[in-house]
Amino acid sequence: MSGWSRRDFLALTGSATAATLSGRLTTSAEAAMGPADKFDLVIKGGDVLDPSQSLRGRRDIGIRWGVIEAIEPEIAAARALKTIDATGKLVTSGLIDLHCHVYPYGSAIGIPADELVQHQCTTTVVSAGDAGVNNLAALRRYIVAQSRARIYAFVHIANNGLSAFPVAELYNIDNAQMEACAMALAENPDFLIGVKVRMSENVIFKHGLEPLKRGIQACEMCGWPARMMVHIGGVETKELMSQILDLLRPGDVLTHSYSGAPNIGGAFTNIVQDGKLLPAALAAKQRGVMFDVGHGGGSFDFTVADVAIPGGCAPDTISSDIHVFSGNSPGMPYLPNVMSKFMMLGFSLEQVVAMATTAPAKIINRAPKIGTLQIGAPGDIAIMELVEGPVSFVDTRNNKRDGKAYLKPVQTVINGVPFGRPYQAPFAVR
Ligand SMILES: [Zn+2]
């Protein structure tokens, strides 16, 4: 910069400065782009829904250089280098899946995140404990680095993560090495959200609260406010379920919140017991523990949700827990289908979209404006069809329910680059 005057510098940055001063978040694209500049991609005519700005209506979305630069009733076709016609389709921010398994080749149950895109419209996904400290670097270097989808992770408190699945990772408590786990957190604050632990009896056997306590200690040792993601479903005893809930801190994530899975002896030890919501569950919810769905292949029971939700424990986030086993199960836990089940349970379209965009984005808290369609947000877009008509849903315990609509994935754009046509050159920069 030495040969540059301050005036040259201002001339270069002037349009951005002016845009900031005039309120770039609310004004049109001309604030950031010249009026003759073209958008790389315009998504035209969709029914746009963005809970982050209470927006619902027909809008065109203009994306340039990977970023949303305009969201307006009409963007002239002449200003678009490429166009996607979204007429009659629902357009939201790219969906965010807070609990899924996206570590292929390194854990036994992972699916490539990019292969999920056409089934889920997910532009951001969180690996829920696929890796422990021993195989976390391989997840970052070999999987995340070559995926188009944005990937974050909870590191497992067990040093082997889910690599030995279906062999339980914590029958031997020695696998839970809290100092090593804390080191992983300390070294990856831009990538990790916190620590995963699975508390089911068939995972931890008789170790009680110890795995959870070690996870919390790792979070508290690492130097930044890491969260726990705690998997429940079939914990050893009824009492243990309340004790787990009592240990969770505000901001920690309870996943499989509506599991109806039994423990090894066949007893039902979940947050609804004998038809009643546990007081410890309501207390956890009220002090700010996040309730996540994590549907999966065995972890979502309509009859548990029927009691827990009216009792005060609605979900904060909807996630799939999709992996190679759950993806082949009758409940079909692909994220838009799980969102559709919550519409059947009485939540609005706006609510289920918020629970799969803005709400998980807030928990991830690693990238500005993900989960929104605000000007300046990454060009991550989900285009879905809201199919109205009779539809039948099944949970993971073979309960069936009839619904009136479901969400069907149509097209996904990540960082301004669509999956499938229309392609751009260079194909991607990020
Ligand atoms: Zn899972």
Tell me which residue of 386, 323, 326, 345 sits closest to 101, measured CA to CA. Answer: 323
Residue 422: cis peptide before it, omega within 30 degrees of 0: yes
Which is it for strands 83-85 and 41-50: parallel, antiparallel or unpaired?
parallel
| Host H or E run for residue 414 | strand 400-414
CA of 2 to the centre of ligand 1 (A): 53
Using the structure block, give the residue that is written with the tokens 């928990």: 363
What's the CA gap between 211 and 409, in Å, rounded? 38
Ramachandran category for residue 187: left, alpha or beta (phi over 0 → left; psi -120 to 50 → alpha): alpha
Identify the pLDDT of residue 3. Answer: 37
Distance 69 CA to ligand 1 centre (A): 36
Q: Which percentage of the chain shows pLDDT scores above 90?
A: 89
* Per-domain residue ranges of the chain: 95-363
Span 100-112, pLDDT tens digits: 999 999 988 999 9
The CATH class of the 95-363 domain is: alpha beta
Please determine, for residue 136, whether its predicted confidence score (pLDDT) is greater than 50. yes
**Are 66 and 430 spatial neighbours (Cβ–Cβ below 8 Å)?**
yes
| Residue 13 clears pLDDT 70, i.e. is over it | no
* pTM as predicted: 0.92
Distance 236 CA to ligand 1 centre (A): 19
CA distance 341 to 402: 9
Q: How many A from CA of 296 to the centre of ligand 1?
A: 7
CA of 88 to the centre of ligand 1 (A): 34
Q: 355-410: per-residue pLDDT in tens?
A: 999 999 999 999 999 999 999 999 999 999 999 999 999 999 999 999 999 999 99
Residue 69, beta-bridge partner list: none
How many Å apart are CA 187 and CA 376, to the nearest integer? 29
CA of 369 to the centre of ligand 1 (A): 26
Contact in structure between 87 and 45 (CB atoms under 8 Å): yes
Among the ranges given (3-17, 102-116, 199-213), the one the predictor scored with the smallest mean pLDDT? 3-17
- The closest of 174, 121, 144, 138 to 334, measured between CA atoms, is 121
Q: What is the pLDDT of residues 25-57, one digit of tens each?
A: 444 444 568 888 999 999 999 999 999 999 999
**Residues in the 5 Å CB sphere of ion ligand 1:** 128, 321
| 343 confidence band (pLDDT: 50, 70, 90) | very high
